[in-house]
Chains A and B, each alone.
Chain A
């Protein structure tokens, strides 16, 4: 167990380090700098600014200093928003992104597993066909289509929910639903397939032959094995959810991590962009690690491989 864990951890750390390195050098390769403005700064002011942010040093030295600070959990000062450190900016944006992400993930799991079980139990029946068509639709439609249409219907026409902003819980309903739909569809497909497959297994056939009621049969015998693929999909789903939440934040103008990232990239705020990418990547890698661990607990064959 511990060797498996260590190997996964080492892989995650190497990946994260690669991400840090690529992003760090990529933003510095690009034409244009953080202090380009409408007005040219006086040369000595610019020199002082560059010195304050270590930009006068060779890139390798900058990289070394950045890594040293990063090791202490410090993402540095923001280049463009003078009074804020990147840590502070990310601390403001992250709760919004994570909140929408978690709400969407729970909604997607609930809808997906319920719909998938239902469809898998009545495979190839009319209800199953409807659900499968719905799932294809949910997967095919991108948020940039779904979000404006939901706003048009539920905010502009019906007036049930606000169209943007983040003041109350009501503001989060449309973003969370938009984000959840494709994942609900994905979970539904996975659950449907594995429920239909588990129904054929001997232990389920036996339990059925013994006259077990449908509810007990599903909750005690079918779902525990049928949910394995759903668990393994949680990792990639969380990764895609984070990236997807960036789309949602733009569409619904929510000041989450994604907006800081886009804004930072547009302003050439080197430290903010690098910081946002690192936080994204670290979250995704951590989630994958957790899923690997959970999987290893559930399946002894992986643990001892």
Chain B
């Protein structure tokens, strides 16, 4: 895993980029003289300058601090959604793998069936119908991105369930829920957590798309998707409003997917990685 993250110059650069983005997102808004929703009446819609490094938007808000605040929101939603997908995917995969037989077949058939559907439809439906709030947003995103995780955990469980300690637990009369919770899940947790980090870029993309449509994060709160949507509207007169948030998002996603590929190779998960990357779209 160390090798995957630091083994090549490209991987090291990507780690550095991610660390920088995370650091900037955490402390940047706090260091900046501007608040993300503060208006500078003397600098409305101005190009990058010494006072506003990324320029300002159409109502005079500092774009640097907005981009970093957007990073906070986008990354936080991605992490929360990934946790939700763990809460569904890990028990699902572990139960299917441990019980085996017809239960396993039915549960995995459900996963196959869900794979076949364009998920963003369901997320849009949920968000539109049940109100646009951030909690619902990450729950909905998490609820549709657990499929890969369930498959991985099932595979790991198949290997773990024949281990001696599981047999010993069963011999001592531990019930199925107990074995799953105490013995199987803790042992498949390592690969599952690594794999869960791989779903983060997908969630970032989905969130930014929803916010782009106006269905995600709402003003004055901001996210990368909101900023790119605003920037795209103003790109003729003020291209910096598009270029800064878009390159920040692009850089982060690129670094994440380079590292994700390397992690996946290191874990030797035999599935076409392109397929997963596309499911994010």
Contacts and interface: CB of A to CB of B under 8 A. Distances in A.
A280 B117 CA distance: 8
Interface in B227-270: 228-229, 231-232, 235-236, 239, 242, 246, 249-250, 253-254, 256-258, 261
A140 B250 contact: yes
A139 B109 CA distance: 28
B113 A15 contact: yes
A107 interface: no
A229 B275 CA distance: 11
A246 B122 CA distance: 13
Contact of A190 (B109, B121, B124, B272): B272
Given A30-B130, A148-B232, A239 B116 contact: yes
A185 B276 CA distance: 13
Nearest to A261: B121
A183 interface: yes
Given A139-B257, A152-B242, A281-B117, A30 B213 contact: no
Contacts of B130: 30-31
A243 B118 contact: yes
A266 B128 contact: yes
Interface residues of B, number: 49
B119 A243 contact: yes
Interface of B is mostly: helix
11 contacts: A139-B257, A140-B250, A142-B209, A144-B205, A186-B274, A189-B272, A189-B273, A190-B274, A233-B274, A240-B118, A250-B212
Given A27-B129, A136-B257, A262-B213, A246 B235 contact: no
B231 A148 contact: yes
A82 to B, nearest CB: 21
B257 A144 contact: no
Contacts of A151: 232, 235
B256 A284 contact: no
Interface in A108-155: 136-137, 139-145, 147-149, 151-152
A141 B231 contact: no
A11 interface: yes
B246 A149 contact: yes
B181 to A, nearest CB: 29
Interface of B: 109, 113, 115-121, 124-126, 128-131, 201, 205, 208-209, 212-213, 225, 228-229, 231-232, 235-236, 239, 242, 246, 249-250, 253-254, 256-258, 261, 272-275, 277-281
Given A144-B229, A281-B118, 15 more contacts: A31-B130, A136-B254, A140-B250, A140-B256, A144-B228, A147-B232, A148-B231, A148-B235, A148-B242, A151-B232, A152-B239, A190-B272, A233-B272, A243-B119, A250-B212
Interface string A3-27: 0000000010011001100010011
Contacts of B131: 31
Contact of B253 (A140, A268, A277, A288): A140
Contact of A247 (B236, B246, B253, B281): B281
Given A142-B205, A142-B253, A247-B209, A236 B278 contact: yes
For the complex of A and B, list the 7 residue pairs with the smallest distance between their C-beta atoms, beginning with the closest. Answer: A30-B129, A243-B118, A186-B274, A148-B232, A140-B257, A265-B128, A142-B205
B140 to A, nearest CB: 12
Interface of A: 11, 14-15, 18-19, 23, 26-27, 29-32, 136-137, 139-145, 147-149, 151-152, 156, 182-183, 185-187, 189-190, 229, 233, 235-237, 239-240, 242-244, 246-247, 250-251, 261-262, 265-266, 268, 273, 276-277, 280-281, 284-285, 288
A151 B242 CA distance: 11
A143 B209 CA distance: 9
B121 to A, nearest CB: 6
B203 to A, nearest CB: 12
A229 B246 contact: no
Given A139-B257, A243-B121, A145 B250 contact: yes
Given A137-B254, A142-B205, A156 B236 contact: yes
B198 to A, nearest CB: 13
A222 B210 CA distance: 42
A26 B125 contact: yes
A220 B273 CA distance: 27
B151 to A, nearest CB: 14
A193 B172 CA distance: 48
**Residue in B208, B229, B257, B277 with the greatest tally of chain A CB atoms within 10 Å:** B277
Contact of A148 (B129, B228, B256): B228
Given A145-B228, A243-B120, A185 B274 contact: yes
Contacts of B258: 136, 140
Given A240-B281, A247-B209, A277-B125, A156 B275 contact: no
A248 to B, nearest CB: 10
A266 to B, nearest CB: 6
Contacts of A284: 116-118
B253 to A, nearest CB: 5
B113 A18 contact: yes
Given A186-B274, A265-B124, A239 B117 contact: yes
Contacts of A273: 125
A244 to B, nearest CB: 5
Nearest to B245: A145
Contacts of B205: 142, 144
